[in-house]
Amino acid sequence: MFSLPLRGDARLGPLETWHAEEFAAHLDRARAHIRPWVGAAFVTESVDGARATLRRYAEGAAADGARLYGVWQGEALVGGVMFTAFDTALGTCEIGCWLEPAAEGRGLVTRACGLLLDWAFTARGLHRAEWHCRADNDRSSAVAERLGMTLEGVRRAAWPYGGARHDKQVWAVLAPEWRASAR
């Protein structure tokens, strides 16, 4: 299978159903850190739950929709990036990410998401890519900015978590903007 270099010994590659045990172990390490920022259905608590999440994304990819990729540091799965939505008819997608705390601060997510955007705009001809995050997730907003996205708005009280509702930011970049920034 393919493997794309990110930084140092980090790489981006497919995250598939046969990775369920590794994905579950990774989520055990990352759960407390990522749970406030990603959906509850993604942050499963068992190998069966991990397998179901991976299967859901595999079915999405098979239908030319949502896709999931892992970020490995050496031999350890430390995070990932994904198309949470991918619609060729509309020419739009939404990307997302997550990392274990030990892997943060190395530019892995920015580089991996840049590869996804390049593929979406160049190979697949999409026109618009979105990034959604809680408004208080400064690290996520910073990635969107580094990717050249524009903050288009805030959906008030759109993210339920921990018995409260949080605002959600919507960022986006258009294909012509992406191509211009790549020069």
pLDDT digits (tens, 9 = 90+) for 26-69: 998 988 888 878 877 777 889 999 999 999 999 999 999 999 99
pLDDT tens-digit map of 54-110: 999 999 999 999 999 999 999 999 999 999 999 999 999 999 999 999 899 999 999
- Decide if 119 contacts 129 (C-beta within 8 A): no
Nearest by Cα to 140 from 182, 162, 170, 161: 170
* Overall pTM > 0.85: yes
At residue 160 the predicted structure's pLDDT band, cuts being 50, 70 and 90, is very high
Q: Which sequence spans correspond to the domains of the chain? A: 4-182
Which residues are bridge partners to 70 per DSSP? 13, 80
Query: Two tokens at 79?
Result: 């995070």
Residue 31 pLDDT: 87
Sign of the CA dihedral with 149 first, then 77, 106, and 98 last: positive
Sequence-distant (≥ 6) Cβ neighbours of residue 89 within 8 angstroms: none
Residue 154, CA atoms < 13 Å, CB-side half-sphere: 9
Please determine, for residue 10, whether its predicted confidence score (pLDDT) is greater than 90.
Answer: yes
Which of these CATH numbers, 3.40.630.30, 3.30.930.10, 3.10.129.10, 1.10.10.10, describes 4-182? 3.40.630.30
Amino acid identity of residue 148, one-letter, is G
Number of Cα atoms under 13 Å in the Cβ half of residue 179: 11
Q: Report how far residue 171's alpha carbon sits from residue 93's, in angstroms, rounded to the nearest whole number.
A: 12
pLDDT of the residue at 14: 92
What pLDDT shows up at residue 96? 95
Q: Residue 36: what pLDDT?
A: 78
139 and 169 Cβ atoms separated by less than 8 Å: no
Asked if 38 and 89 touch (Cβ cutoff 8 Å), the reply is: no
Q: What's the CA gap between 97 and 140, in Å, rounded?
A: 8
Query: Of the given ranges (13-22, 28-37, 101-110, 162-171), which has the lowest mean pLDDT?
Result: 28-37
Residue 183 has pLDDT above 90, yes or no: no
